[in-house]
Amino acid sequence: MPELETPTVGPRHTRRSFLGLAAGSLVAALSLTRRAGAQGQESSAQEPLAGQGATGSLRDPTVVGRSRTPTTANDNDEAIKQIEKRIHCTCGCNLDVFTCRTTDFSCTYSPELHREVVALFDQGKSAQQILDAFVAKYGEKVLMAPEPKNFNLVGYLLPGVVITVGAAVLALVIGRRERRRSLAMAAAAAASPPPARGTVPSAQATPEELDRLRQALSEVDD
């Protein structure tokens, strides 16, 4: 007959001792967690996010696009920004240099153009001189908008001129009609006696006019 394995019997626990043990463990665990949390807060306030230590490396840097160089003071210089907003990026994106270099991060043209602007700026050139240098190098197309001179003035002024002339002609024609009408009305009033009180002026209306009248009445709120 095979020998039966006798179960190992440990120390016996009463319900009271079990509950006491459980409560003690809970209190100990809570206090440990609190202490750890406090330590964590202290340490986070002191070290890991200070931005001075080593930064972690990415698992796959190839999927982030080309590597960036750290920002310099010139990148945020308002004067340089304003100049770059007037220069067209040559990559074919239709954006200005500032917008392209801060938006299209695969573009290699705008960072290069930015460096050119910064170099000229550091030489003490004014905004206009920098723009002129760009036009001399890349042609007028490099400006986001053509200079308002020579033939370009046609581009800038024609819409305004067309609208002004149109408005002037309209005002002139309406004004002339208005004068003519008021003269005619004055002449008619002088020629005919005023209508008797209580009569309703009547006129022959065309079906078109009646249609419009009905339409107009339908739009008047009750």
Question: From CA 32, how far away is CA 43, in angstroms rounded?
Answer: 16
Question: From CA 83, how far away is CA 96, in angstroms rounded?
Answer: 10
Which is closer to other proteins, CB of 12 or CB of 197?
197
CB of 109 to other proteins, least distance (A): 14
**C-alpha dihedral (30, 36, 39, 40), degrees to nearest 10:** -120
CB of 17 to other proteins, least distance (A): 46
Which is closer to other proteins, CB of 30 or CB of 49?
49
Tokens of 86: 């007037």
Cβ(88)–Cβ(96) below 8 Å: yes
CB of 44 to other proteins, least distance (A): 9
Question: From CA 219, how far away is CA 207, in angstroms rounded?
Answer: 19
Vertex 32 angle, CA 28 and 37, to 5°? 150
Question: From CA 207, how far away is CA 57, in angstroms rounded?
Answer: 83
CB of 81 to other proteins, least distance (A): 7
Which is closer to other proteins, CB of 22 or CB of 174?
174
SS3 at position 129? helix
Which is closer to other proteins, CB of 39 or CB of 108?
108
CB of 36 to other proteins, least distance (A): 21
Which is closer to other proteins, CB of 25 or CB of 182?
182
